[in-house]
Amino acid sequence: MNTYDITTELAHHIRDIPDFPKPGIVFKDITPLLANGPVFRRCIVAMAESMPRHIDYIVGMESRGFIFGAALASHLGIGFIPVRKPGKLPHDIHAIEYELEYGVDRLEIHRDALSDHHRVVIVDDLLATGGTAAATATLIRQLGAEPVAALFVIELDSLQGRQKLNDMKISSLLHYRE
């Protein structure tokens, strides 16, 4: 299946939910994509095709990054590392606070999850403003590893999130220009 076919197929399995989670937001709901096993598999294969070579780990952010990241890591036969919200990891953690549009958030990773010379790819379902992905990249660097790429199913181009990730390769399967 070529890129045009997978893009069209994925777009048919993502629905818009207006005014969620708040008025004025159009939420891109991926649950129909996840519910269709063959389409979900083709999505993971398409993501794998855009992966750089010689990657040690996939890093996925809570929560939808877990779904796509773990499936991609399994498909590639490499490890998956979760980046979580505060208080969810049971072992020694390394954390970063980062600014949101309205406030501050925090992400955590196990302190022993990555080390020098590890090459990783960040995976999530959606690239919007880029704040969470950029904070994750900083967290990865602070552990000594190298975030070499970021992969997304959906990118909201008008929010220009990729500008916060300009030091790595960025790949998105679907682009919304709204």
Residues tagged active-site: 64, 101
How far apart (Å, rounded) are the C-alpha atoms in residues 66 and 125?
A: 9
Q: What 8-state DSSP symbol labels residue 52?
A: P
Query: How many CB atoms sit inside 10 A of residue 131's CB?
Result: 15
Separation between Cα atoms, residue 122 and residue 169, nearest integer Å = 10
Phi then psi for 6, rounded to 5 degrees?
-70, -35
Cα dist from 163 to 60, 109, 145, 149, 159, whole Å = 20, 24, 21, 13, 9
The rounded distance, in Å, linking the Cα atoms of 178 and 170 is: 19
Continuous segment of H or E residues that includes residue 141: helix 131-142
41, 46, 50, 53 alpha-carbon torsion, rounded to 10°: 40
State both tokens at 145: 């590893």
